[in-house]
Structure 1
Amino acid sequence: MKVKKTTRSIIQWIFIILGAIVLAVSLRVFIFDTYTIPTPSMEPAIMSGDHVVVNKLVPGPRIIKNFFSLGKGVKPVFTRLTGWKVERNDVLIFNFPYSDRGRMDLDMNLFYAKRCVAVPGDTFYIENGFYKVKHVSDTLGYHENQRILSERPDHEFAPEIFHCFPYDSHHTWSIKNFGPVYIPERGSTMPIDTLNAIIYRDLITYETGKPVSVKNGTVVLGDSVISEYTFNRNYYFMAGDYVFDSQDSRYWGLLPEDHITGKVSFVWNTKDMRTGKIRWNRFLKKVK
């Protein structure tokens, strides 16, 4: 009798432990995850050494459709469950889209934290250092750093920091004056010409798998001449709050929605990277 009770008790505990593991994994996959911030590019909102909790319900949990094929040279293909929309000024964690320089890709091992300053359908621009969206009066990003940027003379910046995407003689954009650039929305159709093809070619190639080139004054997608294109993904403009030193959309372009992991909600733990001491004043601090 004792043996039977002991066996039943062991089985019950096995089910409890397995249930707890399934619950923990499910929460990490569908609801939240944690990340460590290694750089100061988002200061003062989040600091190097912060450990943050990320809400995956914004814009919705990603599910890898070809999970069992990964590790065989196959790139991940995601489907996204229904979630909440990304809003301007949300701080997001995302996979860096250009780990393979020269073309857009998705690196599952490289994550960035930046602030979304423009959402699909927006027309974004930087005017004398200040971030703006046409017909929107909201303050975007960390305004104080933008003010300091606007007051610094252009010659004080190194050329590789001052000059911006798309690095073209027709678009002499800088960190102080950038755009305007339309942020594509899923289903939106826009004219494509020899001037804007350089801005959107990586996005179009990412969606179609075909190269975009300019030949004899026309835009060619694969082997076909195009004059317009309908986007099948949403895109975002991402910016670091520390505007003087941040590898963000000013330098590499627009972020596809399938790269987004989630929205940074709060700091759950943090240590000063220099001293190793816990910064208690940031414990459970909400990120906004």
Structure 2
Amino acid sequence: MSLNEFLWIFYINLFLVLLPAIGLYGMFKKAGVEGWKAFVPFYNVWIMVELAGMKRYWFYLQFIPIVGWFITIAILIDFVKTFGKFSFWEHALTVLVPILYFSYIGYNSIDKYLGAESVHKHKKSTIREWVDAAIFAIVAAGLIRMFVFEAYVIPTPSMERSLLVNDFLFVSKTAYGTRVPNTPLAFPLVHHTFPGIKTKSYLEWIKLPYRRWFAKPVKRNDVVVFNLPVGDTVINDEVNFGSKVTYYDAIQMAGGDRNRIWNDYGDIIITRPVDKRENFIKRAVAVAGDTLEIKNGVVYINGKVNDIPKGVQTNYYLRTKGQPLDYTMLEEEYGIRESLREVSQAPGLGNNVYEIFLTQEQLDIFRKLPYVDSIAPFVSTYSANGPTMGGDVFPNDTAYCKWTLDNFGPLYIPKKGATVQLTPEIYSRYERVIRTYEHNDFEMKDGKFILNGQPATSYTFKMSYYWLMGDNRHNSLDSRYWGFVPEDHVVGKASLIFFSWDGGPRWKRIFRSIK
């Protein structure tokens, strides 16, 4: 843990123990303790532990990172019990507004210090026991979800065949270091919207800067969950827009007319902080400092062919020797179903052609089948007439980047501390990084660059970035469409499939590790 990370934890602990100090002054005096002790950080907690008759180890537990915050809150609750405060609402006030509630207890003429014995004598009702247990379970589950691991379900086929639709998996939030929430005031166990009522589940009264405790870099070919970088602004209509057609896609489809989009959808356009943007899952094919290039669908990293994970599948045109394909047999033997369709004619292949998604292992098998005449990869290219297909890709710059899904780059993936020379050729590639993700005023005028009001010829990156792609290479909305994933958008590493469903349990996939 870095010094900055340690200081952030310490400052939050300090805030918790000093927040009720004004009220504690009066409460300590009622308990026969000198009031000045209320203003001494952590010593005031020691006094509360003693007055409440708690074991002394509770004082030391509050110094455990993150968990200690909730230990401090538990100590505050036990302390107010010594003043006869046992109801749910009295404890809620202790947690939510201690500066006001403790001042009320400390300075009114009614409440008296009853001592630790009053706490031990008090018996909760059965209902209260259940309520407290439920609240504890929600808080504990919320903490685990926020800082340790979270369960996800795969909603789309973009990662097939590595991950299938309705695979349920655990994502480790400690694999790359625990990310401190940008918006800590949020309803537990809900991402960004309350189900059914389409209302924000979080408040932006407190916004914390990006911090990651015990930070570790993403490794190449890891399967990563991250917040969608272009999800900062959303047309809040999940049927037609949302993360499927992003706000920036809509502007591009409108010919760049931003005013038109706001006139049509301004009432439902919203912005989201980083940690509340839509969660996506892809594979990190390139990491910070790499140079990525795709040639005819093959990914090259730093000039070498990237290792191809076993589950990666690509689009092919398969021509038979005249007989139709047996769909039932292909599904039973190879699990090929939704990725198969017949096309009337494919370029250069003629008739009896099918479009099919295959892994490398399946491709080797299909090439040997007696009824298969030929298999040709689907490859999008750029010609004098424009892209054959798949040309609407990042950074949408036809002057300098005539790229497609299958022929892309070379492109340098920014690394924290690395410097690039600013040229018109690379402006579109790093403009969003410099302006949006790293919060600078940045523009190009007449081939010259203005950074935060000053002329600039180079830029040094403040964060590291990653390049995420789906294993279903021709059916994935990924970095090829919207660019880099900043390190502060990384949620965690997909680690284990704990359940899988397709009309019934997929028993062979349960408790399978993710590679």
| TM-score using structure 2 length | 0.49
- Does 2:281 match 1:113? yes
Which residue matches 1:186?
416
Cα contact 1:88–1:140 (8 A) shared by 2: no
Which residue matches 1:201?
431
Distance 1:211 1:78 in 2: 20
> Unaligned stretches of 5+ in structure 1?
none
Aligned AA for 2:480? Answer: R
Cα gap change, 1:107/1:56 in structure 2, threshold over 3 Å: closer, same or farther?
A: closer
- Does 2:128 match 1:128? no
Shift of 1:162: 4.0
- 1:164 pairs, out of 384, 389, 393, with 393
Distance 2:136 2:217 in 1: 31
Q: Give % identity.
A: 32
- 1:44 pairs, out of 155, 161, 169, with 161
Q: CA RMSD in A?
A: 3.3
1:143-191 Cα deviation digits (max 9, x unpaired) = 8535849822548xx9663442111121001111111111111111111
The farther-off stretch of 161-170 and 138-147 is: 138-147
Cα contact 1:117–1:140 (8 A) shared by 2: no
The farther-off stretch of 129-138 and 142-151 is: 142-151
Aligned AA for 1:67? Answer: P
Cα contact 1:66–1:77 (8 A) shared by 2: no
- Does 2:513 match 1:286? yes
Aligned AA for 1:7? Answer: K
Which residue matches 1:55?
172
Cα gap change, 1:172/1:59 in structure 2, threshold over 3 Å: closer, same or farther?
A: same
Distance 2:454 2:203 in 1: 34
Aligned AA for 2:475? Answer: D
Shift of 1:102: 4.1
Cα contact 1:132–1:140 (8 A) shared by 2: no
Which residue matches 2:260?
none
Question: How many residues matched?
Answer: 280
Aligned partner of residue 206 in structure 1, secondary structure: helix
Cα gap change, 1:196/1:6 in structure 2, threshold over 3 Å: closer, same or farther?
A: same
Distance 2:471 2:509 in 1: 18
- 1:249 pairs, out of 461, 474, 479, with 479
Aligned partner of residue 274 in structure 2, secondary structure: coil
Distance 2:124 2:306 in 1: 62
- Does 2:174 match 1:34? no
Shift of 1:252: 0.5
Between Structure 1 and Structure 2, which shows a larger proportion of helix residues? 2
| TM-score using structure 1 length | 0.83
The farther-off stretch of 209-218 and 11-20 is: 11-20
Cα contact 1:130–1:143 (8 A) shared by 2: no
Cα contact 1:141–1:239 (8 A) shared by 2: no
Cα contact 1:207–1:232 (8 A) shared by 2: no
Instruction: Point out the structure with max Rg over C-alpha.
Output: 2
- Does 2:213 match 1:81? yes
Q: Structure with the greater relative contact order (CA < 8 A, sep ≥ 6): 1 or 2? A: 1
Shift of 1:267: 1.0
Cα contact 2:299–2:305 (8 A) shared by 1: no
Cα gap change, 1:20/1:144 in structure 2, threshold over 3 Å: closer, same or farther?
A: closer
